[in-house]
Every structure is written in C-alpha cells, then in structure tokens.
Amino acid sequence: MTARIIDGVALSASVRGGLAERAAALKERGVTPCLAVLLVGEDPASAVYVRNKVAGCEKTGMRSLKFVYPTDVEPAVVFAKIAELNADASVHGILVQLPLPKHFDSEAVLEAISPAKDVDGFHAENVGALMQGNPRFIPCTPYGVMKMLESEGVKIAGAEAVVVGRSNIVGKPMAMLLLAQSATVTICHSRSKDLAFHTRRADILVAAVGKERMITGDMIKPGATVIDVGMNRFASGPNAGKLCGDVDFETAKDVAGLITPVPGGVGPMTITMLLTNTMESAERTLK
C-alpha cells in the first residue's frame, strides 16, 4: 500500500484564501486584524519564523507589528511593550517568539500577555479553557493538525490516537483536542516503555518528538493516519542537512493510509492557524 499524502501547502492556501475574504469583510466594518510579534535575540530559526509570520499577515490583508530586541535586553523593556500592546485596541494578537534568552522567565512573559490576545494559546487561562473543552485560542500546530484531519474526513470518534511527545506547545494540547473529539488517546514520551507497542495500535499517530526519523514503517499500523510534526535535519547520508520529520517517510508511506510529508505537511499549517487565531480575535471585538 502507498499512503495518500496530505498536502499542507494546498490546504494552507485554501484556508488563507478564506482568511483574506474575512479580512476584507472586517475592513468594511472598520477593523483591520493586527498581529504583534516580539523577537528577542538572534536565533536564526526564530528570525525565519517571525519573518514568515509577518509575511503571512501581509499576504492575507492583515496588519503586523514587529518588535526586535537584542539578546541582552532588560526583561522590563519587553514587559512594558507587552503592557502597551495589551492596552492597544487596534492590536488583536500578541506573540512572543520562543525560546527566550536564559535571563528571561518565559512563563512570566507568556502570562503577561492578555489572554484575550494570546493567539499562541499558551497563557494558563487559555490552557485551562482548552482542558475544560471550551477553548478560546487553540495552539497553532495542533489546531493545524485538526484541520488536516477534518479536511481528509478522518474519523476521530472512537479511534485509537497515539501522540508521541508531551510538550506544552504540541503534545499536550494535541491530546486534548483529540480527546475532545472522542478519540481514545495515549500520550507517549521519552520514558515510555516499548514505544512501538503503542504506535502499532494507533489509527491516528501524531509524532511530535523532535528526533530525526525515529518512527519507522514497522512501528505503524497498516492503513493508519500518520501526522509528522517533526522539523529535523538528516544527520548523515546523501540527504545530510536537508529537512526531515520525526517519521521515516520512506518506510512509513508503504504502511500508512494517509501521511503528512516534511516539508510541506504540518509546517505550512502552523502559521496559517496563527493567522486564523488572529482573525478570530479581531472578529470577536465586533461581537
């Protein structure tokens, strides 16, 4: 069997088309959706992510504000900017790019963002709302995965779903979203015994560990839906340095029923869902 590929680029384009229409409709009512992004330090990957977030806003008719600070900036400067943006009614979303330099208390920074503008969905109040099954902002990567499953008509209720990874950004909210749609959810992590025992039971397998090609074809149930959230580089071999996921695509595609590639799978959806959250926040101001 060769798996059908879920095309994150195409789905992303279609969702962004809808966003552009919603941005135009809001503008007619005098509101331009606006996302503020804060970047501290010179991490090259973070700089690329922030550039793509800002570009995504521009292409969908949304406004963006970008604030860049040197690595050694006083945290008070960043807290003051967050307070200013919290109070600015023309700003609908605020995002502080992670990771922050070591002298920052990241949790305190995330808690300083108004929960009503927390488009990452990382504020404790929004995490709690998601846990209670009443989300305000859904974290962007798991939100994108749910969109992909929906667009492919994957049956979630009653399915065995296995999430590999327990991060606050992906693993935990992913598990909550699948649970909310009545999957039977297992969360695996670095201390799980016999990972393959769990993954082979999965009708829906989400890999979010950050380890190059660790999920191989023999760990997958035939016909399963395999979602690869990994963003790694091949360490060696003919593709050394090129982007790859947590799933070994070459062996997995012969076993899975549906699979996301890397690149071109979950990655493009993440920023699209950030834009979606910003749009939803702007629309709420008119309700």
* Residues involved in catalysis: 53, 97, 120
Is the CB of 256 or the CB of 271 nearer to ligand GUN?
271
Contact 63, 27 (CB under 8 A): no
Q: Which residues pair with 226 in a beta bridge?
A: 205, 259
CB-based contacts of 251: which residues, under 8 Å, 6+ apart?
216, 217, 218
Is the CB of 93 or the CB of 257 nearer to ligand GUN?
93
> What x-and-dash track marks residues 156-185 binding ligand GUN by CB under 6 A?
-------------x----------------
Residue at shortest CB range from ligand GUN: 98
Among 6, 95, 113, 220, binds ligand GUN (CB under 6 A): 95
Question: Which is it for strands 160-164 and 204-207: parallel, antiparallel or unpaired?
Answer: parallel
What are the start-end ranges of the H helices in 60-139? 75-87, 106-112, 124-131
The footprint of ligand GUN on residues 129-148 (CB under 6 A) is 140
Q: Is 126 in the site for ligand GUN (CB under 6 A)?
A: no
Closest-CA residue to 270 (of 242, 229, 234) = 229
The footprint of ligand GUN on residues 97-116 (CB under 6 A) is 97-98
Is the CB of 23 or the CB of 39 nearer to ligand GUN?
39
CB of 15 to ligand GUN, least distance (A): 17
CB of 42 to ligand GUN, least distance (A): 15
Q: Is 120 in the site for ligand GUN (CB under 6 A)?
A: yes
Q: What angle do CA 61, 174, 59 make, to 5 degrees?
A: 10
| Count of residues engaged in binding ligand GUN, rule: CB under 6 A | 7
Q: What angle do CA 245, 251, 252 make, to 5 degrees?
A: 65
Q: Which residues pair with 233 in a beta bridge?
A: 243
Run of H or E residues at 44: helix 44-59
Q: Is 276 in the site for ligand GUN (CB under 6 A)?
A: no
- Name the residues that contact ligand GUN, by CB under 6 A: 95-98, 120, 140, 169
